[in-house]
Amino acid sequence: MSDHGHHKETFITKYIFSQDHKMISKQYLITGIFMGVVGVFMSMLFRMQIAWPEHSFSIFEAFLGSHQTDGVMDPDIYLALVTIHGTIMVFFVLTAGLSGTFSNLLIPLQIGARDMASGFLNMISYWLFFLSSLIMILSLFVQAGPAAAGWTVYPPLSALPQAIPGSGTGMTLWLVSMAIFIASSLLGALNYIVTVLNLRTKGMKMTRLPLSIWSFFVTAIIGVVSFPVLLAAALLLMFDRSFGTSFYLSDIFIGGEVLHYQGGSPVLFEHLFWFLGHPEVYIVILPAMGIVSEVMAVNARKPIFGYRAMITSIIAIAFLSTIVWGHHIFVSGMNPFLGSVFTFTTLLIAIPSAVKSFNWITTLWKGNLQLNPAMLFSIGFVSTFVTGGLTGIVMGDSALDINIHDTYFIIAHFHLVMGVSAIYGMFAGVYHWFPKMYGRMMNKTLGYWHFWITAIAAYGVFFPMHFVGLAGLPRRYYTNTAFPYFDDLADINVVMTWFAILGGLAQLIFLANFFISIYKGKKATQNPWRANTLEWTTPVEHIHGNWPGEIPEVHRWAYDYSKPGLDEDFMLQTVPLKEGEEPS
Pick the stretch among 22-30, 198-206, 281-289, 366-374 that binds other proteins (CB under 8 A).
Answer: 366-374
CA pair distance 58, 322, nearest whole angstrom: 46
Binding flag, residue 340, other proteins (CB under 8 A): yes
Binding flag, residue 94, other proteins (CB under 8 A): no
Query: Residue 557, CB half-sphere, CA atoms under 13 Å: how many?
Result: 20
- Strand 253-254 with 257-258, pairing: antiparallel
Instruction: State the nearest-atom distance from the C-beta of 452 to other proteins, in Å.
Output: 7
Instruction: State the nearest-atom distance from the C-beta of 7 to other proteins, in Å.
Output: 32
Instruction: State the nearest-atom distance from the C-beta of 412 to other proteins, in Å.
Output: 11
Pick the stretch among 15-23, 97-105, 231-239, 325-333 that binds other proteins (CB under 8 A).
Answer: 325-333
Binding flag, residue 436, other proteins (CB under 8 A): no
Binding flag, residue 13, other proteins (CB under 8 A): no
Instruction: State the nearest-atom distance from the C-beta of 152 to other proteins, in Å.
Output: 9
Contact in structure between 282 and 214 (CB atoms under 8 Å): no
Residue 356: C-alpha distances to residues 209, 298, 359, 363, 583 (Å)? 17, 17, 5, 10, 24
Q: Which of residues 497-516 bind other proteins (CB under 8 A)?
A: 512, 516
Cβ distance to other proteins smaller for residue 51 or 468: 468
User: 567: buried, middle or exposed (CB in 10 Å: 19+, 13-18, 0-12)?
Assistant: exposed
Count, residues near other proteins per rule CB under 8 A = 132
Q: Identify the residue among 31, 101, 357, 454 touching other proteins (CB under 8 A).
A: 357
Q: Identify the residue among 112, 156, 287, 326 touching other proteins (CB under 8 A).
A: 156
Q: Identify the residue among 274, 414, 459, 514 touching other proteins (CB under 8 A).
A: 459
Pick the stretch among 131-139, 160-168, 276-284, 531-539 that binds other proteins (CB under 8 A).
Answer: 160-168
Q: What angle do CA 116, 556, 377 make, to 5 degrees?
A: 65
SS3 string, 9-26, reads CCHHHHHHCCCCHHHHHH
Contact in structure between 526 and 536 (CB atoms under 8 Å): yes
φ/ψ region of 46 (left if φ > 0, alpha if ψ in -120 to 50, else beta) reads alpha
Binding flag, residue 428, other proteins (CB under 8 A): no
Instruction: State the nearest-atom distance from the C-beta of 124 to other proteins, in Å.
Output: 35
Collect all residues with Cβ–Cβ distance below 8 Å to 544 and sequence separation of at least 6: 4, 5, 7, 20, 115
Binding flag, residue 382, other proteins (CB under 8 A): yes
Q: Which of residues 460-489 bind other proteins (CB under 8 A)?
A: 460, 463-464, 466-468, 470-472, 474, 476-480, 482-485, 487-489
Instruction: State the nearest-atom distance from the C-beta of 81 to other proteins, in Å.
Output: 13
Cβ distance to other proteins smaller for residue 228 or 306: 306
Binding flag, residue 390, other proteins (CB under 8 A): yes
Cβ distance to other proteins smaller for residue 198 or 370: 370
Instruction: State the nearest-atom distance from the C-beta of 144 to other proteins, in Å.
Output: 12
Q: Is the dihedral of CA 216, 217, 220, 221 positive or negative?
A: negative
Cβ distance to other proteins smaller for residue 199 or 349: 349
The partner residues of 72 in beta bridges, in order of sequence, read 69
Cβ distance to other proteins smaller for residue 114 or 440: 440
Q: Identify the residue among 163, 311, 315, 453 touching other proteins (CB under 8 A).
A: 163
Whose CA is closest to 220, among 291, 286, 272, 127?
Answer: 286
Whose CA is closest to 334, among 247, 266, 250?
Answer: 266
Secondary structure of residue 127 in the 3-state scheme? helix
Binding flag, residue 70, other proteins (CB under 8 A): no
Binding flag, residue 493, other proteins (CB under 8 A): no
CA pair distance 181, 197, nearest whole angstrom: 24
Q: How far is CA 478 from the centre of its chain?
A: 26
Q: What angle do CA 106, 111, 116 make, to 5 degrees?
A: 65
Residue 565: C-alpha distances to residues 365, 568, 569, 572 (Å)? 21, 9, 10, 15
The contact pattern for other proteins, residues 104-143, with x = CB under 8 A and - = no contact, is ----------------------------------------
Binding flag, residue 76, other proteins (CB under 8 A): yes
Binding flag, residue 84, other proteins (CB under 8 A): no
Contact in structure between 325 and 274 (CB atoms under 8 Å): yes
Binding flag, residue 376, other proteins (CB under 8 A): yes
Pick the stretch among 170-178, 227-235, 280-288, 354-362 that binds other proteins (CB under 8 A).
Answer: 354-362
Whose CA is closest to 75, among 477, 364, 358?
Answer: 477
The 10 Å Cβ neighbour count of residue 239 is 14
Q: Which of residues 513-552 bind other proteins (CB under 8 A)?
A: 516-517, 520-522, 528-529
Cβ distance to other proteins smaller for residue 315 or 394: 394
Instruction: State the nearest-atom distance from the C-beta of 340 to other proteins, in Å.
Output: 5
Cβ distance to other proteins smaller for residue 309 or 502: 309
Secondary structure of residue 538 in the 3-state scheme? coil
Binding flag, residue 407, other proteins (CB under 8 A): yes
Cβ distance to other proteins smaller for residue 12 or 258: 258
Residues listed for the chain: 584
CA pair distance 445, 450, nearest whole angstrom: 9
Q: Which of residues 218-277 bind other proteins (CB under 8 A)?
A: 249-254, 258, 263-267
Residue 569: C-alpha distances to residues 70, 302, 529, 552 (Å)? 63, 8, 11, 21
Q: Identify the residue among 61, 131, 323, 406 touching other proteins (CB under 8 A).
A: 406
Binding flag, residue 394, other proteins (CB under 8 A): yes
CA pair distance 283, 277, nearest whole angstrom: 10
Binding flag, residue 164, other proteins (CB under 8 A): yes
DSSP H or E run through 430: helix 421-438
The contact pattern for other proteins, residues 555-584, with x = CB under 8 A and - = no contact, is ----x-xxxx----x--------------x
